[in-house]
Amino acid sequence: MVSKIISIGTATPAYMHSQDEILQFMQRIYSLNTEGRRKLRYLYHQSSIKTRYSVVSDYTRPAAEWEFYPATENLEPFPSLEERMRWYDRHAAPLSVKAILSCLDGKADPKEITHLITVSCTGMSAPGLDLQIVDLMDLSPGIFRTSVNFMGCYAAIHALKLANSICRSEPGARVLIVCTELCTLHFQREPTEENMTSSLLFGDGSAAALIIADAEDHPEKGLRLESFYSEVIAKGKKDMAWTLSSTGFRMTLSNYIPDLIGEDLALLVNRALKKNGMRLEDITHWCVHPGGKRVLEAISKSLHFTNGHLDDSYSILKEYGNMSSPTLLFVLQRILYRLDFRRANALLGVAFGPGLTMETFIATTAGD
């Protein structure tokens, strides 16, 4: 028995900020000289990002109206880890419910959900996001719950892997995955390369997916989860990292990441395909995590893409930035909307995260 994804729902916070507006805010935060401001402006304009969403309104408001950052000359007291977690606790669950309701609409009743998998690397507490969702949606108090924490951008694939295992072992399972990240709560003010990269790349968002056992008597069309494959590139373990500090979670994201991905991706994809008895030309759709413009360019070069294979990834990057774990599901939802289920389709998903970890999955539709 295999499992299938029958629905994906997405949600964003209330505040949409243009890339230029965030640039102006961060130039003030970093207190850069003329040369630094010129460099930062160039990086923002080369990002291929137009807009991003945040639970923080400050990025497009005058200092007198700031609510998260202190409107003081020296920005003290800068938001502490405790303050950032208070904001996460306040906003993550309602945003998650918004994505879940979009996912379940017309597909399932909340009472039918048997398993809940929550995914996040931008906030943690106990009791946490999973129990908040159970309360807000009045889910069964006996629901199976588990959480995927601190895995970063590839965590949605890990959650799909867990959901697939559950559905294979429990034919009646209805597994709900929700990935929610509030990345913009963790922007830092020191003008380091890592901090400036994070400030120009990350946004907030939530995505939910419903996975069921692919029983013949279930009428819903969906993507059958066929196989998963992952590898760790040990030489890149220091180039992508996510650590806690007294002023929030800190991202290490070196300029070598696109090169590392480009060097190893083709081999990884070939091994993933071989595991499932497939070839590169069998893949009709590519669901690639848009980790950034340079990452997508490195992937296109590595796999010799020339015909818009990554258009969906570029579109999500342009409209939302990198939201960490939900981002892959945003791309997948866009593919699902236009998928022709009358035809046989084969989709390969790829995402990356700390380690450097590279995760893949293959999904198919059989066609009529």
Mean pLDDT of successive 10-residue stretches along the chain, which has 368 residues: 92 97 90 87 94 96 92 84 95 98 93 96 91 96 94 94 95 95 92 87 97 72 93 74 76 72 87 93 95 92 90 97 97 94 93 88 84
Q: What's the pLDDT at 4?
A: 93
User: Rounded CA gap, 45 and 222, in Å?
Assistant: 38
| Same domain, residue pair 97 and 235 | no
Answer yes or no: is 10 within a domain.
yes
| Same domain, residue pair 17 and 125 | yes
Q: What's the pLDDT at 239?
A: 61
User: Rounded CA gap, 299 and 262, in Å?
Assistant: 6
Nearby residues of 18 by Cβ (< 8 Å), 6 or more positions away: 50, 51, 60
Tokens 């807009």 -> residue: 51
CA distances (Å), origin 143, targets 116, 117, 129? 7, 10, 14
Answer yes or no: is 171 within a domain.
yes
Nearby residues of 142 by Cβ (< 8 Å), 6 or more positions away: none
Q: What's the pLDDT at 98?
A: 98
C-alpha triplet 240, 351, 200: angle, nearest 5°: 55
CATH (domain of 277): 3.40.47.10
| Same domain, residue pair 242 and 300 | yes
The number of domains in the chain is: 2
**Residue 191: count of CB within 10 angstroms of its CB:** 18
Q: What's the pLDDT at 256?
A: 64
Q: What's the pLDDT at 356?
A: 82
Q: What's the pLDDT at 74?
A: 75
| Same domain, residue pair 208 and 234 | no
68-77: long-range pairs with CB below 8 Å, 24+: 68/185, 69/29, 75/29, 75/189
**Residue 25: count of CB within 10 angstroms of its CB:** 21
Q: Are the C-beta atoms of 122 and 132 separated by less than 8 Å?
A: no
Q: What's the pLDDT at 368?
A: 57
Q: Can you give the pTM of this predicted structure? A: 0.95
